[in-house]
Amino acid sequence: MRITVIGLGNMGAPMAANLAAAGHAVTGFDTAAPMPQGVTAAASAAEAVREAEVVVTMLPNGAILRAVADQIIPAMTPGALLCDCSTVDVDSARAVADLARAAGLGALDAPVSGGIGGAQAGTLTFIVGGRPEDFARMEPLFGIMGQKSVHCGDSGAGQAAKICNNMILGVTMIATCEAFGLADRLGLDRQKMFDVVSTSSGYSWSMNAYCPAPGVGPTSPADNGYTPGFAAELMLKDLTLARQAAESSGAETPMGAMARQLYEDFVQHQGGAGRDFSAMLTRFQTVPS
């Protein structure tokens, strides 16, 4: 297939490379990032999409997505499919889908879970909103870039599911870090705590698969100086999106709101910038990491 990928940063670049390695003709555009191996560079976003059957976008936020959509939708071939894999606000996802459909295009919002490692390994999970027929067209490509794709409903449903998931993740990571901080104060060995909690009712992904304590549990960013697999700034972004969605829908999310405030403080004032979101443990710990 003729595929264009716009946004070739830490996530978009390996996704594009995996599509190219699978034999697809991939064109790329980014304002700054270099082209991945096997991807042909275009001079502009509009030029990149002109002959594409599928356009994948991976962009930082809703405002940039809307701006890029205004450039590329008029240049796309009717019948082509626009698949946005950014994590953005639900309103932006729905607005871009409406514009695409009005131009005779298919449209999906398909934010991902799995981080940079998942993008490189082709093991991402795609959380998808849009029409079933558009999802069916994109599903084989999801299978190249990831290991799972879930169709959650119409446009915006992918973004809604993603921010709900990451609100849970942010809250449980903070709870996990708090518990290690308490264990430190009580003189409890971290490995013993893990051995108990990971097989008891405190079980969670944050504890069992991504433990924030160095040297405990499976290898995680904690064992690499908290080099980001999922940066604290990105967790703050997702928790902010969850807060915005809660406010616009009238939902009550007190734990999500508190998690957002704690990550904001961590990123802006407590050394969290540039570190993995599990580095939140350093805010609570009383023993060297």
Chain segment 138-165, per-residue pLDDT in tens? 999 999 999 999 999 999 999 999 999 9
Query: How confident is the model at residue 192, as a pLDDT?
Result: 97
First to last CA, the chain: 48
In a 13 Å sphere around the CA of 236, the CA atoms on its Cβ side amount to 17
Q: Which amino acid is at 239?
A: L
Q: CA distances (Å), 36 to each of 10, 29, 48, 121, 150, in order?
A: 11, 11, 15, 15, 27
Query: Which residues are known catalytic residues?
Result: 162
CB 59, CB 7: distance < 8 Å: yes
Does residue 285 have a pLDDT over 90? no
Mean pLDDT of the chain: 96
- Rounded Cα–Cα distance for residues 36 and 119 (Å): 13
- Rounded Cα–Cα distance for residues 90 and 155 (Å): 9
Residue closest to 169 by CA, chosen among 80, 85, 234, 266: 234
Percent pLDDT > 90 in the chain is 96
The CA-based dihedral angle spanning residues 177, 277, 285, 215, taken in that order and rounded to the nearest 10 degrees: 90
pLDDT class of 287 with cuts at 50, 70, 90: low
Percent pLDDT > 70 in the chain is 99
Does residue 215 have a pLDDT over 70? yes
pTM for the model? 0.90
Give the chain's domains with CATH numbers.
Answer: 2-153 (3.40.50.720), 160-283 (1.10.1040.10)
Phi, psi of 127 (to 5 degrees): -110, 105
- Range list of H helices, 146-221: 157-185, 190-197, 205-208
Residue closest to 17 by CA, chosen among 284, 91, 3, 31: 3
Does residue 286 have a pLDDT over 80? no
Query: How confident is the model at residue 249, as a pLDDT?
Result: 92
The pLDDT tens digits for 34-86 are 999 999 999 999 999 999 999 999 999 999 999 999 999 999 999 999 999 99
Does residue 122 have a pLDDT over 80? yes
Determine the 3-state secondary structure of 114 from DSSP. Answer: coil
